[in-house]
Chain A
C-alpha cells in the first residue's frame, strides 16, 4: 500500500474538474499533501489540484465545532424542515448515492447547480431523443466537427489536443485534415481549431441570442428546404448551404454544443434543432451529436438520481415517492416561491460555487477552501473527491465513468460519510420517537 503521507509523484491521475476526465496526469505530492500537476495539466487541473491543503473545522453559526455536533445540527434542521431542498450536488457517485438516500428518507427535492443548462438536454431527450456519440468515437472517426455556440476550450481545455489533433487513429485517418467549423457566438477563441499544419477553421459568427435562427435555418437547409432570405443573423445563407453540404458529404460529422453556454430563453429548442438535424443526416450518411457537460459532477448527480429514483435532476420526494418536474423543482423556483424551507448545498469540487442567497436555514457541505459571504447555519467542509478520497465520476459523454484516486491523507470526511451520518441520526431519532409513543 502506497504511503500517502510521503512526498511522491503519482501517475495516471484522473482529473474530475471537467467532463473530459483526463486520466494521464502526473501529480507531485509534498509531505503536507499539497499537490502540483507536473505533466498533462491544463489551467483548470492545475488550479484544481494546486489549491493548498486546508482543514477548517465544521462550524455552527460561524463557531468551530466537532463534526459530530455539526452533523447533529444539520439533522435537526432537516428534521424541522417540511420541504428541504438539496442543491449544488457537486459530488461524485458514492457521494450522490448518499445524497439520494437522505433525500428519500426526508422527502427532499433534488437539483444540481448546473441544471439550468443541463436540463435543456434532458428536455430534448424526453421530447424527441437524439443520436449522439462518445469521446473515443470522436477521436478515431470524426472528419467534420461543427461547434455550436462555444469555443469548447474554455470548458474543456484539452479537447482538441486529446480528441481532434491526436496523432493516431484506429483507422489510419490523417487527423490534420479534419475540418472544424465554429457556428455562432462572437469573439470566440478559435485558435485551438487551427490544424497542426496551420489550416484555419471556418468561423461563422453570430450573436448568441440569434443562434436559434441560425440553427433552425441550417436544419431547414439540411432538410432540403429553400430559404428566401440571403442571410440569417449576419451569416450568408450561401455559407449555411455550404456547411449543410459538408455535413452531408462527411463520413462522420460530429456536431457539438454545451448546453450551459446557450443562455437564452427556450434554448432547449435550439438543442433540439441540432439533434433533429443530426437525425436527418443519418438517413444517408453517419453523423452524431456530442453534448458537452460533466462539470461540477452534473453527470454524476444526474446518472445516480436517474437509476435510484427513475428520473433525472429536478426530482422531489416531497410526497414520499419521486416526482420529476424540470420547472417546478428548479432551485431558483423552489427558493423564490418560498416552497423550500431548508437548503442543503453541496459543492465538493469547487470552492467558488457558493450557495444562492436565501434566508432559509442553510447547511453547506463544501470544498474546504470555500469562502462564504454569509455564514450559513452549518458549514461542513468535506473531502475533495479524487484528491482526499476515492470516488467515481462520469465523463461528459455520460457513458464512460472513471475511478477517482485518493492522492493524499486527509482528515476531512467524505460527503457520503457525512450524509450517511445525518441519515442515521434522523433514523435513530425517529426510532426513539416511535418507542416513546
Chain B
C-alpha cells in the first residue's frame, strides 16, 4: 500500500526541516522514498495548508502498573464524571485523571500521540505493568524499570561490588522487566522510609546500608552509559515537593561526574525558601544549571489547575504529603523489599499560593531552558495533571498573550514571586516538534520514531492550522500509526495495537546463579517467575517487542 501525503507543511527537526512544504510517501507502514513517476499511488491525502509532524511521544506518563490501578480503585467518583460508552469501533471505559487502559490509548491517539512510556515499572510488578499496557490500544508503549531502592542493589553498593557486577545486575533487571530504561526514585529513600527515615538528602546515609543517594545515582548513571543504553538514567530526585529542594537538585546535576542524567518532573524539585511563606521559585537557577550541564535533560511535570491524583513510587514523599490528600484518602505501600508506592489525590487551585506558584515555576522552567532538545513536555501524568491537558499546555507555551492573561488571574502572592509576566518567549512549532517528537525519540532511544526520514516508522500526525493552538493540538486532522490511518478529525477511525519498545544490553548470564540463590533465600517467588517473557507480551497476537540497539557494552570507564 503506497500512500502519498501531498503538500503539507512539514516540521521534522531530526532532519532540520522547519515548516517546508513537502510530500511524504508511506509504503507498508514505513516512510518511503519518492517512488518512480509511474508508480501507482493507492491513496493520496491533500494536506495543503496543514501541518505535518511525526507522531508525538510522551516520554514520561503513568499509564500502567500497580499504582495506576490503585489510583483507579481510589477514585470511582472521578470516573463517574467521564464515562466512555461502547461504539462500533471502540470498547467502553472511563476517562479523566486515571483513564481505563482502553480509553488511555484512544485518547492519546486522538491527540496525535503514537507512543507513551511508563516511567515506574517495579521489577516485582513488571508483569502487571506490561499486562495493563497490553490493553492500551493504538500507541506504542515501553517502560523504565525502577532500581536503587531494592535490597540487592543497595547490598551490592554497600559491599562496594565492582561496577561490572552492578552493570550485569542492571542489565539483567532490564531484561527481566522488559524495559527500555532505568529509573531511580528518591534514590535509597523509599528503602530508608521502610526503616523509618522520613527524609534522605543527597549526601545522607541510608541507615541500613550506609550508602548515600549520591552514590546510587553515580553508580546507576554510569551503568546506563557503560551498558550503552540510549536513555540516560531517569531520576526522580530526593525531597520531592520540599521547599528548598533546589539545592539538592542542583547538587544532583553536578554530582554524577558528567554521565548523562535525565531529571524528571523537575518542577517538583525546583523550590526555594525565599519570601514570607518560605516557598519560592527556583526556576531561574535550575534553568541556568540545565543550560550549563550538557549531560542533563529534564521533563517538566507541569501542574494544571483542577482535580488530579498523584501516583508515585516515592512512598517516603507521598506519605509525607498524605495530609494534603483531596479528597481525604490515600494509599501507601511497602513493596517486596524492592520498591514502594504512594497514591494521593490532589486538587491544584489557582488561588492557592503554593499551587499557583508551582504552575508558574513549571512554565518559567519551560521558557528559561534554552535547548528544546533537553527539555520535554510532560505533566507527569497524572501527577501534575492528566495527559489530556497537553494541548492547553502547548498553548501556554506558544501564546504569550494568553499565558499572561492566565497568570494575571492566579493567586496574587504567587504572581509577586514569579518572573513569568516578564518572559516573552513563545515556543515555535519547530520547538514543540523537538520537545514532543524528535527530542523525545532521541532521549528514549527510538531510532525509527519521532522523525519523518525515509525508513522511519510512519507514525505521523497532521494538524489543521488554527490560531488557537489548544484547538489545533487537541484534534489532529489525521493520525497515522505505522502507516495506518487511525484518527480523522480528532476521532478514532481504526483501532490498531502498537508494540512495546525495549532495549537488551549484553550481560553475563552467569549472574543468574547468584540472583537465583538470593531469590530463594529472601524472596517469596522464584527468580524465573519474576521475569516477563516475550510470550507474555506477544502471546495474545496483538503485542510485539520492538528491540532497540544498545550500542555495545563499553569497557569500564575508570
Partner of A130, one of B66, B194, B331: B331
A150 to B450, CA, bound (A): 56
The answer, yes or no, to whether B151 is at the interface (CB within 8 Å) is: yes
Q: Known contacts A306-B72, A308-B102; is A322 also within 8 Å of B333 by CB?
A: no
Do B522 and A104 touch (CB < 8 A)? no
A135 to B76, CA, bound (A): 27
Query: What is the chain B residue whose CB lies nearest that of A402?
Result: B529
The answer, yes or no, to whether A200 is at the interface (CB within 8 Å) is: no
Q: Known contacts A104-B92, A168-B522, A171-B208; is A321 also within 8 Å of B85 by CB?
A: yes
Do B335 and A134 touch (CB < 8 A)? yes
Q: Known contacts A252-B194, A392-B127; is A122 also within 8 Å of B529 by CB?
A: no
A398 to B319, CA, bound (A): 20
- Chain A nearest CB: distance from B200 CB in Å? 15
Do A317 and B524 touch (CB < 8 A)? no
Do B74 and A125 touch (CB < 8 A)? yes
Do A307 and B132 touch (CB < 8 A)? yes
The answer, yes or no, to whether B210 is at the interface (CB within 8 Å) is: no
A interface residues, tally (CB under 8 Å): 65
Which of chain B's residues have a CB closer than 8 A to the CB of A195?
none
Q: At the interface, is chain B mostly helix, strand, loop or mixed?
A: mixed
Do B521 and A288 touch (CB < 8 A)? no
Query: What is the chain B residue whose CB lies nearest that of A24?
Result: B526
A308 to B64, CA, bound (A): 11
Do A140 and B337 touch (CB < 8 A)? yes
The answer, yes or no, to whether B281 is at the interface (CB within 8 Å) is: no
Do A168 and B521 touch (CB < 8 A)? yes
Do B128 and A139 touch (CB < 8 A)? no
Q: Known contacts A126-B73, A251-B196, A399-B125; is A140 also within 8 Å of B522 by CB?
A: yes
Residues 131-157 of A at the B interface (beta carbon under 8 Å): 131-137, 139-141
- Chain B nearest CB: distance from A281 CB in Å? 11
Do B83 and A309 touch (CB < 8 A)? no
Q: Known contacts A12-B528, A125-B74, A403-B533; is A306 also within 8 Å of B332 by CB?
A: no
A392 to B535, CA, bound (A): 12
A403 to B337, CA, bound (A): 21
Do B128 and A137 touch (CB < 8 A)? no
Do A303 and B91 touch (CB < 8 A)? no
Do B337 and A306 touch (CB < 8 A)? no
Partner of B92, one of A163, A309, A394: A309
Do A324 and B337 touch (CB < 8 A)? no
- Chain A nearest CB: distance from B66 CB in Å? 5
Query: What is the chain B residue whose CB lies nearest that of A325?
Result: B76
The answer, yes or no, to whether B144 is at the interface (CB within 8 Å) is: no
Partner of B76, one of A324, A394, A402, A403: A324
A62 to B329, CA, bound (A): 51
The answer, yes or no, to whether A223 is at the interface (CB within 8 Å) is: no
Residues 323-362 of B at the A interface (beta carbon under 8 Å): 325, 328-338, 343
Which of chain A's residues have a CB closer than 8 A to the CB of B524?
20, 135-136, 139, 162-163, 400
The answer, yes or no, to whether A348 is at the interface (CB within 8 Å) is: no
Residues 72-110 of B at the A interface (beta carbon under 8 Å): 72-74, 76, 79-80, 83-86, 91-94, 98-103
Do B525 and A320 touch (CB < 8 A)? no
Q: Which residues of B contact A (CB under 8 A)?
A: 64, 66, 68-70, 72-74, 76, 79-80, 83-86, 91-94, 98-103, 122, 124-125, 127-128, 131-132, 135, 151, 155, 193-196, 208, 319, 325, 328-338, 343, 521-526, 528-529, 533, 536, 540
The 9 closest A-B pairs by CB, nearest first: A310-B94, A321-B83, A310-B100, A129-B329, A136-B336, A321-B85, A320-B85, A129-B330, A135-B524
18 sampled A-B residue pairs with Cβ under 8 A: A12-B529, A14-B529, A101-B91, A126-B74, A130-B331, A133-B335, A135-B336, A137-B336, A170-B337, A252-B194, A286-B196, A304-B131, A306-B72, A310-B93, A311-B94, A321-B83, A403-B127, A403-B533
